[in-house]
Amino acid sequence: MKRLFYLLVFLGQFTEGYSQDSVMVRRIYDQALLNGQAYENLRQLCKDIGPRLSGSAQAQMAIDWSYQKMRSYQFDKVQKQAITVPHWERGTTESAWYQTSNGTLHKVHLLALGGSIGTNGLLQAEIIEFKTLEALQSAKKEIIENKIVFLNQPMDAAQIQTFKAYGACYAIRGNGAVEAAKLGAKAVVIRSLGLPQDLHPHTGSMHYESNVQKIPAAALSTAEANDLSIELQKGKVNFFLEMDCRDFPDAPSYNVMAEIRGSSHPNQIITIGGHLDSWDTGEGAHDDGAGVIHCLEALRILKELGYQPKHTIRVVFFMNEENGNQGGQQYAQWVKSLGEEQIAALESDRGGFAPRGFGLDGPDTYLALLQSFEPLLKHYDLHIFEKGYGGVDIGPLKNSYPGIPLFGFVPDSQRYFDFHHAPSDVFENVNKRELELGAAAVASFAYLLDLNL
């Protein structure tokens, strides 16, 4: 009888706690959907400032805007962390054409890859196609030397999780210039890493190696990559390319952050955030304007509802994720030097689409904690609670805090690579309700994480 009594007491306490959490989550969603500020804040970031490549004037304006916006919400602390970032500029608009075997000239839509050198005037050469990086690596130097390499590997449309399709062909962008240069190529042109067949080229970071000749690297729109491939099957094609991009000395910049101080464990920090910088095409709306706005709105909602966390919850707008990750690396080193105890981190960097759940990058011991949130959140169409990926910005925290759980916000991925690093990544392509639902999901997750760590 006594055992039954204690069991009933425990179940009653559990039910009461669950009910309170359920009410709080509902209040969070109501605030986001009925009184939200996410969409207007994203509009300001995209339209009043625009693209925000590290080291640019727009990046500095975004830093100033973020700092003032955080201060306007009267969080317990708002600050900037001084960092140093790379400074690369695209220069004048790229120009490119190809000429078919019958002499017909076709102008194409093309973007320099981030970090590429320029062409030093108009570069002209025969172009030769490879379907994969491995095919290029196994080719003989005599067929490639003094030609332009065309890497035409499409993302695998059969993949349900589009990030897997992206990862499978990322190497043509990251390593294409190095592998082509080893065989004497004059330049490399890749098929854009995007699923749609359209005229929007997708930029993104690439790298060079110190012991390999640097050659220009660019991305061609997917539709024109298809056309070029067809022409190459008919005969010899010459390619013409001019790019004016260049490197500058590293530049001063900042991470921007705000926090609600913890009541019982103020030196234990839960970091949530995304990256403030973006590529210099489009407006960085999905990548990663939506992510930083998710996290800012989450902190605003918790404060608006009068929630007093046990641990300090800090939102960080990281700078330089796209071409260096100096914001993430220097943040991890900085908080360690301050003696802070970082106990968990969450990143939103997969766009402003409808939320689907959260992934865990960390010890399996935290998987049960993650999955314990599902009963409270499945009513809100969140169903992914599994091992996964955290994020580029929060990744360096693993070096400073071994064993820290890193969580990644997971929205629907089917449209993300329509806009990723492309001129089409603009405010108009973000759905207001989906953005607000994402902010509510992040706020709910931060609330549950604070309660249960």
367-409 per-position pLDDT tens digit: 999 999 999 999 999 999 999 999 999 999 999 999 999 999 9
pLDDT over 90, % of the chain: 95
Q: How confident is the model at residue 19 (pLDDT cuts 50, 70, 90)?
A: confident
* Order of strands across the sheet that contains 110-112: 105-107, 95-99, 238-242, 123-130, 148-151, 187-191, 217-220, 110-112
Q: What angle do CA 441, 373, 410 make, to 5 degrees?
A: 45
123's tokens: 């570069």
Neighbours of 412 (CB within 10 A): 15
pLDDT above 50: residue 10:
no
Question: Please, are residues 362 and 408 in contact by the beta-carbon 8 Å criterion?
Answer: no
Query: Under a CB-based contact definition with an 8 Å cutoff, are residues 160 and 198 in contact?
Result: no
Residue 313: C-alpha distances to residues 83, 358, 415 (Å): 22, 18, 31
Beta bridge partners of 269: 312, 342
Mean pLDDT of the chain, nearest integer: 95
* Per-residue pLDDT band at 112 (split at 50, 70, 90): very high
Among the residue ranges 16-20, 64-68, 330-334, 447-451, the one predicted with the least confidence is 16-20
CA atoms within 13 A on the CB side of 368: 2
> Which among 283, 321, 322, 436 is annotated as catalytic?
321
CA angle 81/83/89 to nearest 5° reads: 130
Question: Which amino acid is present at 334?
Answer: W
Q: How far apart are CA 435 and CA 419, in angstroms?
A: 15
Q: What is the DSSP string of 139-160?
A: S-HHHHTTSEEEE-----TT-S
How far apart are alpha carbons 62 and 58 in whole angstroms? 6
The answer to whether residue 289 scores a pLDDT higher than 90 is yes
Q: For the chain, which domains are there?
A: 25-88+249-452 (3.40.630.10), 91-244 (3.50.30.30)
| Tokens, residue 198 | 């359209």
**CB of 262 within 8 A of CB of 268?**
yes
pLDDT at 3: 45
Check pLDDT > 50 for residue 14: no
Does 126 qualify as catalytic in the annotation? no
Strand 187-191 with 148-151, pairing:
parallel
- What the block records as the tokens of 302 is 């918790």
Which are the contacts of 269, defined by CB distance < 8 A and separation ≥ 6?
259, 311, 312, 313, 314, 335, 340, 341, 342, 343
